[in-house]
């Protein structure tokens, strides 16, 4: 992050205590924490702008002192009074991404000599202050909010983010914006018109980031303030009015954000919807079902249940709210998981087209084995051969995505039948035919998602001998059904988002080899080159299973082009057996696969996608081998196996039976 000058600091009365408690041991702990190994980072950094829901520690914790910071959630156990505050959702999200969400303008960090962080969210901020923290000189101001002791006292001031960077935003970073609650609590929003104006401030912050170069911006809608303990305490009529104005705010925010659709990735978060799901089934998320969760809290005036601080069954994880408006750490975890799922979704769903290209490529490989010279009847011009073949392959893979490293286990299965016809002509021996196969494939993703394909592949194929040259071609068309289940963790609970759709694809391969052995030899040994073009298309669909999580997924297309060069050894059946082996070096010609383009079904104003799915290497080595056994005069059994590897490994096996008439 660019260096930032330090301006006037107005420390609280306990600032000297902060310095006294700054010990070598606490410094060592802070340093060691920053050196811990982190997951693969797909974003260069994370920048956050908002209010207390995102504040990771701008204010000092005057109870514990030292390097401890105030966060707007419950303290950690076991006593929940004399320990540090738990993490808020933005910290948890950053950790999942292998990043940090340290406060940007903390007086503690300044006194301790720590570098400032990238989290500009400050407890008490209205939307006007959030906008200033993005765009204004001296816009990042940590000031004690109204209603607190010392309200109005400024602890530290720094420039807003875009001022500190000279007006540019890191295009490789993730940006997060939330706010609006304090506009209600501080009396800024009192009517539909003021709700629209406040939403405009938040939208202006997003627009400023986009104009400065930000490409991925996560925007949370405003939670229903009327359904919090503070909102409920005002009475049913007032709570209903507040909820209605929250709706106006969110609608106005969405209308402004819609103008950015197609220009930048705006990731909408439906916090109203996700909290409604929690309240509809609290026990599923680990919360108490015997208390009104929107009216009670853990450690404020609404602490009136046995689960509250000092209660007979003290447990903040049983309650959604820590105080009148802020979630407990259990609620923070749900919000973090929800945000992470929205980031990860395009990458997970973007794997689906690989099921189609994989099915087509597997079919091409099997038919290539049936086309080998040694598999044909050596009596020129005689014999129609029918065959049945089954194959299976599996492996593991991963790729760097917007949510980090996305790993998966893959499996392809197929069974087919075909007929091979002699097509000898004036140019030389030739054969060709048709085949149809049933294909099944699935990906089991590390996050619990399961992507499945079922369908048929129809193929035409032929091979022509031209003296020492051999030319063969295979063309296939696939018709597929997809069942795509995306798993989403939400605190102690989870959701499965299901999508069903159709797709198709085609694959065409051409191969040229040069025979080194004599025409009458049992052996066909030859160097070869090959080119294959495969495409897979999936129709768009809408997920079901959770109103707040369901996505509208656009059409997807994946192209897989590859070239190979290698050497083949093929022995025709004699004395009851035959065999073949092949070694090839291959290179993929296309860019990394695209992630899926999605938009939140409940807030469909903006589409977004993640970074491309990085497969690691474009190169691969392939080794295949097989054994043929004569069964009587006209029947043959074929067993084959192979492996494709470089930085990932895929193994395959097949068994085939044929009969020549």
282 versus 593: which is more confidently predicted?
A: 282
pLDDT at 39: 39
By the 8 A CB rule, do 207 and 258 touch? no
- Gap between the Cα atoms of 586 and 288, Å rounded: 58
Q: What is the mean pLDDT of residues 291-306?
A: 96
Cα dihedral across residues 25, 30, 31, 36: positive or negative: positive
pLDDT at 378: 59
- For 114, the token pair is 């720590």
CATH architecture, domain defined by 15-281: 3-Layer(aba) Sandwich (3.40)
Q: Rounded mean pLDDT of the chain? A: 91
Tally of CB atoms within 10 A around 554:
16
Where along the chain do its domains lie?
15-281, 350-363+383-660
Confidence of residue 376 (pLDDT cuts 50, 70, 90): confident
Q: What is the mean pLDDT of residues 423-430?
A: 93
pLDDT at 593: 79
pTM for the predicted model, two decimal places: 0.89
Q: What is the mean pLDDT of residues 29-33?
A: 33
pLDDT at 147: 87
Q: What is the mean pLDDT of residues 118-128?
A: 98
Which of 599, 611, 546 is CA-nearest to residue 254? 599
Q: Which of 45, 52, 437, 536 is catalytic?
A: 52
Q: What is the mean pLDDT of residues 405-409?
A: 71
Cα dihedral across residues 182, 159, 200, 260: positive or negative: negative
Residue 69 pLDDT exceeds 90: yes
Q: What is the mean pLDDT of residues 77-104?
A: 96
236-250, 468-482, 609-623: which has the minimum mean pLDDT? 609-623
Using N-to-C axis directions, what is the helix angle for 236-257 and 192-211, rounded to 10°? 30
Confidence of residue 502 (pLDDT cuts 50, 70, 90): very high
Residue 355 pLDDT exceeds 70: yes
User: Does 350-363+383-660 match 15-281 at the fold level?
Assistant: no
Residue 652 pLDDT exceeds 70: yes
632 versus 251: which is more confidently predicted?
A: 251
pLDDT at 397: 64
Q: What is the CATH number of domain 350-363+383-660?
A: 2.40.128.130
- Gap between the Cα atoms of 377 and 239, Å rounded: 84
Confidence of residue 367 (pLDDT cuts 50, 70, 90): very high
By the 8 A CB rule, do 611 and 642 touch? no
pLDDT at 616: 72
Q: Using DSSP bridges, classify how beta strands 404-422 and 430-445 pair: parallel, antiparallel or unpaired.
A: antiparallel
pLDDT at 611: 75
Residue 265 pLDDT exceeds 70: yes
- Gap between the Cα atoms of 126 and 140, Å rounded: 12
Tally of CB atoms within 10 A around 198:
27
Residue 287 pLDDT exceeds 70: yes
- Gap between the Cα atoms of 542 and 555, Å rounded: 11
3-state secondary structure labels for all residues of 570-584:
EEEEECCEEEEEEEE
Which of 109, 334, 316, 325 is CA-nearest to residue 225? 325
pLDDT at 398: 55
> Which helix (DSSP H) or strand (DSSP E) does residue 494 occupy?
strand 493-514
Q: Which of 55, 116, 315, 323 is catalytic?
A: 323
Q: Which of 164, 299, 326, 595 is catalytic?
A: 326
**Burial (Cβ within 10 Å: 0-12, 13-18, ≥19) of residue 419:** middle
Confidence of residue 594 (pLDDT cuts 50, 70, 90): confident
pLDDT at 90: 98
pLDDT at 9: 32
Which of 477, 472, 469, 475 is CA-nearest to residue 510? 472
Residue 460 pLDDT exceeds 70: yes
Which of 241, 258, 122 is CA-nearest to residue 192? 241
3-state secondary structure labels for all residues of 202-266:
HHHHHHHHHHCCCCEEEEECCCCHHHCHHHHCCCHHHHHHHHHHHHHHHHHHHHHHHHHCCCCEE
Residues 6+ apart with CB under 8 A from 59: 69, 70, 106, 123, 142, 144, 155
Q: What is the mean pLDDT of residues 251-271?
A: 98
Q: What is the mean pLDDT of residues 363-374?
A: 94
Q: Active site includes 52?
A: yes
Which of 637, 658, 523, 572 is CA-nearest to residue 374? 572
Q: What is the mean pLDDT of residues 623-627?
A: 96
Q: What is the mean pLDDT of residues 53-68?
A: 95
Tally of CB atoms within 10 A around 65:
18
Q: What is the mean pLDDT of residues 529-551?
A: 98
Using N-to-C axis directions, what is the helix angle for 127-135 and 192-211, rounded to 10°? 20
**pLDDT tens digits, one per residue of 177-231:** 999 999 999 999 999 999 999 999 999 999 999 999 999 999 999 999 999 999 9
pLDDT at 498: 98
Which of 219, 325, 321, 324 is CA-nearest to residue 270? 219
pLDDT at 430: 94
Q: What is the mean pLDDT of residues 644-650?
A: 87
pLDDT at 647: 81
Q: Could you give phi then psi for residue 434, rounded to 5 degrees?
A: -135, 155
Cα dihedral across residues 303, 101, 218, 197: positive or negative: positive
- Extended strands (E) in 546-633: 551-553, 556-574, 577-588, 598-600, 619-631
pLDDT at 382: 62
Q: What is the mean pLDDT of residues 371-400?
A: 79
**pLDDT tens digits, one per residue of 602-611:** 999 999 998 7
Confidence of residue 383 (pLDDT cuts 50, 70, 90): confident
103-112, 132-141, 543-552, 628-637: which has the minimum mean pLDDT? 628-637
Q: Active site includes 591?
A: no
By the 8 A CB rule, do 442 and 450 touch? yes
**pLDDT tens digits, one per residue of 388-405:** 999 999 887 655 444 555
- Gap between the Cα atoms of 220 and 250, Å rounded: 9
Q: Active site includes 104?
A: no
**pLDDT tens digits, one per residue of 529-539:** 999 999 999 99
């Amino acid at each position: 992050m660019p260096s930032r000058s330090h301006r006037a600091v107005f420390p609280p009365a306990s600032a000297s205590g902060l310095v006294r408690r700054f010990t070598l041991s606490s410094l060592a702990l802070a340093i060691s924490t920053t050196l811990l190994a982190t997951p693969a980072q797909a974003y260069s950094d994370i920048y956050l702008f908002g209010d207390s829901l995102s504040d990771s520690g701008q204010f000092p914790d005057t109870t514990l002192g030292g390097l401890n910071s105030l966060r707007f959630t419950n303290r950690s156990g076991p006593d929940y009074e004399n320990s540090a505050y738990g993490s808020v959702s933005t910290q948890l999200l950053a950790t999942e991404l292998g990043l940090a969400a340290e406060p940007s303008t903390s007086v503690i960090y300044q006194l301790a000599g720590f570098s400032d962080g990238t989290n500009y969210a400050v407890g008490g901020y209205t939307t006007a202050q959030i906008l200033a923290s993005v765009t204004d000189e001296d816009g990042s101001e940590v000031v004690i909010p109204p209603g607190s002791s010392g309200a109005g006292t400024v602890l530290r001031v720094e420039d807003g983010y875009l001022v500190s960077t000279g007006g540019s935003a890191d295009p490789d970073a993730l940006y997060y914006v939330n706010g609006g609650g304090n506009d209600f609590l501080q009396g800024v929003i009192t009517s539909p018109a003021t709700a629209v104006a406040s939403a405009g401030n938040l939208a202006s912050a997003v627009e400023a980031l986009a104009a400065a170069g930000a490409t991925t911006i996560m925007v949370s809608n405003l939670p229903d303030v009327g359904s919090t303990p503070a909102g409920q305490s005002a009475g049913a009529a007032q709570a209903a009015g507040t909820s209605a104005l929250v709706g106006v705010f969110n609608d106005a925010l969405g209308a402004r954000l819609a103008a950015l659709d197609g220009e930048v990735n705006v990731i909408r978060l439906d916090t109203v919807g996700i909290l409604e799901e929690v309240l509809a089934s609290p026990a599923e998320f680990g919360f108490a079902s015997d208390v009104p969760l929107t009216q009670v809290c853990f450690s404020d005036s609404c602490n009136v249940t046995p689960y509250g601080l000092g209660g007979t069954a003290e447990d903040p994880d049983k309650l959604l709210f820590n105080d009148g408006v802020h979630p407990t750490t259990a609620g923070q975890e749900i919000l973090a998981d929800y945000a992470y799922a929205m980031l990860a979704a395009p990458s997970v769903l973007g794997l689906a087209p690989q099921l189609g290209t994989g099915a087509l490529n597997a079919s091409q490989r099997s038919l290539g084995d049936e086309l080998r010279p040694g598999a044909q009847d050596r009596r020129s011009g005689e014999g129609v051969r029918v065959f049945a073949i089954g194959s299976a392959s599996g492996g593991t893979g991963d790729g760097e995505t917007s949510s980090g490293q996305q790993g998966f286990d893959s499996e392809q299965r197929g069974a087919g039948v075909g007929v091979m016809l002699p097509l000898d002509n004036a140019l030389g021996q030739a054969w060709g035919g048709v085949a149809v196969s049933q294909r099944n494939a699935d990906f089991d993703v590390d996050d619990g998602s399961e992507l499945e394909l079922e369908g048929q592949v129809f193929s035409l194929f032929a091979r022509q001998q031209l003296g020492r040259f051999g030319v063969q071609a295979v063309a296939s068309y696939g018709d597929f059904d997809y069942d795509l289940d995306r798993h989403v963790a939400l605190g102690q609970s989870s959701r499965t988002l299901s999508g069903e759709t159709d797709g198709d694809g085609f694959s065409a391969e051409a191969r040229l080899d040069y025979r080194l052995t004599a025409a009458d030899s049992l052996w066909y040994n030859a160097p070869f080159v090959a080119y294959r073009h495969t495409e897979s298309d999936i129709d768009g669909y809408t997920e079901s299973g959770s109103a707040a999580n369901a996505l509208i997924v656009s059409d997807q297309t994946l192209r897989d082009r590859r070239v190979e060069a290698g050497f083949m050894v093929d022995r025709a059946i004699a004395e009851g057996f035959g065999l073949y082996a092949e070694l090839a070096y291959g290179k993929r010609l296309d860019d990394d696969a695209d992630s899926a383009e999605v938009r939140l079904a409940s807030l469909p104003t903006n589409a977004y996608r993640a970074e491309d799915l990085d497969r690691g290497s474009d190169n691969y080595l392939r080794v295949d081998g097989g054994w043929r056994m004569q069964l009587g005069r006209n029947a043959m059994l074929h067993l084959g196996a192979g492996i494709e590897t470089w930085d990932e490994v895929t193994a395959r096996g097949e068994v085939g039976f044929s009969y020549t008439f």
